[in-house]
Amino acid sequence: MKLATWNVNSLKVRLEQVKNWLAENQPDVLCLQETKTEDANFPLSELQQAGYQVVYCGQKTYNGVAIISKLPALDVQYGLPNFEDQQKRVIAATVNGVRIVCVYIPNGESVDSDKYPYKLAWLAALQAWLKDELQLYPKLALLGDYNIAPEDRDVHDPVAWAGKVLCSEPERSAFMGLQKLGLRDAFRLFEQAEKSYSWWDYRMMGFRRNHGLRIDHILLSSALECTACSIDKAPRKLERPSDHTPVWANLA
């Protein structure tokens, strides 16, 4: 079973790229973030014609998440049940017996922004909810744009980024808190190339210079056996790419 996650930075702009990626990679599940699409305008039939089912939860301009799957997505949940939030950042469903949790974790803007405590509160609610969810669903995968680079090796310039948003100690502690629930970073279960990232700044030729961060992750509960995990840089090389590229993992 192949699971993947991709922050597409507007599904409208990236729809053809998503359809091509589905056709070429044949994932069983693809989680999307930053669809930036109201549900009424969601390109459902186009994805159905590609042979997939979709559940989604979006809004105008910002945020928006979706789960694209070959098999039906059951018991769909929208949002964090323990955190009142107007922003559409979470959708969860069971696919082929695996609880799929698709998240677009807040960016935080900067450590002295009002959005930073919102991010930390959001992460605390996520962890509290997942603790219960793992009891209900031992086979659970948490996929998405975490907006956290967990370690210095996930950052192209750890000195410049030290203490900054996406790399700060409270954010990294929140990431470790998820791991303490028994969730494992699928990417780090395997040998990986150094300087592997999932996001590169649009500006200053960030991708060409590999000025990136690894902030998109797949965390897997211990009941799931993972056989491979990789970042697919190919979509980042296309015309008009998202600033993020897909991450995928294979389950036994």
Partner DNA sequence: ATGGCTTCATAGTGAAGA
Catalytic member of 28, 52, 56, 104: 104
Chain Cα centroid distance, residue 155: 17
**Single residue of 28, 34, 171, 185 touching DNA by CB under 7 A:** 34
Tokens of 70: 């070959």
Question: In the window 101-140, what residues touch DNA (CB under 7 A)?
Answer: 106-107, 109-110, 115
Q: How many CB atoms lie within 10 A of CB 218?
A: 24
Distance (Å, whole) CA 209 – CA 191:
23
Q: By CB under 7 A, which span of 46-54, 69-77, 172-180, 195-203 interacts with DNA? A: 195-203
Q: Are 47 and 17 in contact (CB under 8 A)?
A: no
**Backbone phi and psi for residue 203, each to the nearest 5 degrees, phi listed first:** -90, 160
Catalytic member of 52, 116, 137, 145: 145
Shortest Å, Cβ 240 to DNA: 5
Active site includes 104? yes
Amino acid identity, residue 47?
L
Measured at the alpha carbon of residue 247, what is the angle toward residues 244 and 252, in degrees to the nearest 5?
170
Question: In the window 61-80, what residues touch DNA (CB under 7 A)?
Answer: 61-62
Active site includes 232? no
**Single residue of 136, 159, 203, 252 touching DNA by CB under 7 A:** 203
By CB under 7 A, residue 240 contacts DNA: yes
Distance (Å, whole) CA 137 – CA 181:
13
Distance (Å, whole) CA 47 – CA 162:
41
Shortest Å, Cβ 201 to DNA: 7
Shortest Å, Cβ 69 to DNA: 23
Q: By CB under 7 A, which span of 58-66, 94-102, 128-136, 218-226 interacts with DNA? A: 58-66
Tokens of 183: 């969730």
Residues that bind DNA (CB under 7 A): 7, 9-10, 12-13, 34, 36, 60-62, 106-107, 109-110, 115, 145, 147, 165-166, 199, 201-204, 213, 215, 240, 243-244
